[in-house]
Amino acid sequence: MAPTQVLYMEERRGQDPDPCYLREFDARVVERGPDFVVLDRTAFYAEGGGQPDDTGFLRWDGGEAKVLRVQKEKGLVRHFVDRIPAADDVHGVVDWERRYAHMRMHTSQHLMSGLMFRIYGARTVGNQIHADRSRIDFQPANFTPADLERIERECNDVVASAADVRIFEEDRAVVENKIEDRALMDLIPRSIRRLRIIQVGEADYCPCGGTHLKNVREIGAVHILGKRSKGKETDRVEYELRTA
């Protein structure tokens, strides 16, 4: 079976809206499992890379199912639903409040990770995004309260600058030359030669498959809640976002 066409990963064409902002779409059911369906195309985000999956609805003539969970397996996106659609043509609707919160958090994560590496040489070794609060693990790191205040300020300076977030494809060799973080590149299978890059102003340049804002001003304000040592020179920084 052909891999699911992932609509938010499509390259933006001309004046078309940013694909990460696509909330509704039409699709065809190509596989029915006991509690899931595979569609030929989707705007639903499948859980991965520290970003939770999307929820929402699939609607068809005379029916509706809740999308409870979304997982990607070997290129196929499985939409776990509370009932299997009776029709082959469905209309998908993403729960936008939840997804948009994840986009704000995820773009903030790039911003903070980029600045932490630039200012303190601390690599991001893990992260988990939630709609209300998120965390990033940094290494090597032993941040003081003053360090965290500085990072929060630097993040919010970039937000205030209203920097654009660019998403584009680049050859792996070019990316490897630009990125100092070898460990990150080693996580990406060698077979992948073209990478989807997320560039957040001057603050971050990083391959990523997630959904992101088009401009950092939509973040509002980054508020660091604190840090916790996770041993071995690793600090876990927790943050939330506020409307500026």
Q: Which residues contact 144 (CB under 8 A, 6 or more apart)?
A: none
User: What is the C-alpha to C-alpha distance for residues 176 and 190, in angstroms, rounded to an integer?
Assistant: 12
User: What is the C-alpha to C-alpha distance for residues 219 and 208, in angstroms, rounded to an integer?
Assistant: 18
Burial 72-108 (b: 16+ CB within 10 A, else e): beeebbbbbbeeebeeeebebbbbeebbbbbbbbbbb
Rounded least distance, CB 192 to Zn ion, Å: 16
User: What is the C-alpha to C-alpha distance for residues 72 and 70, in angstroms, rounded to an integer?
Assistant: 7
| Cβ–Cβ < 8 Å for 38, 4 | yes
Taking CB under 5 A as the binding criterion, the range among 25-33, 81-89, 142-150, 204-212 that sits at the site for Zn ion is: 204-212
Please say which residue, 137 or 147, places its beta carbon nearer to Zn ion: 137
Please say which residue, 52 or 210, places its beta carbon nearer to Zn ion: 210
Please say which residue, 42 or 199, places its beta carbon nearer to Zn ion: 199
Does 56 participate in binding Zn ion (rule CB under 5 A)? no
Site for Zn ion in 169-198 (CB under 5 A): 198
Please say which residue, 48 or 145, places its beta carbon nearer to Zn ion: 48
> Which two tokens mark 223?
């508020």
Instruction: Single out the residue of 210, 224, 234, 236 in contact with Zn ion (rule: CB under 5 A).
Output: 210
Instruction: Single out the residue of 43, 77, 151, 208 in contact with Zn ion (rule: CB under 5 A).
Output: 208
Taking CB under 5 A as the binding criterion, the range among 91-99, 147-155, 182-190, 210-218 that sits at the site for Zn ion is: 210-218
Please say which residue, 84 or 131, places its beta carbon nearer to Zn ion: 131
How many residues belong to the site for Zn ion (CB under 5 A)?
A: 3
57: three-class secondary structure by DSSP: strand
Q: Site residues (CB under 5 A) for Zn ion?
A: 198, 208, 210
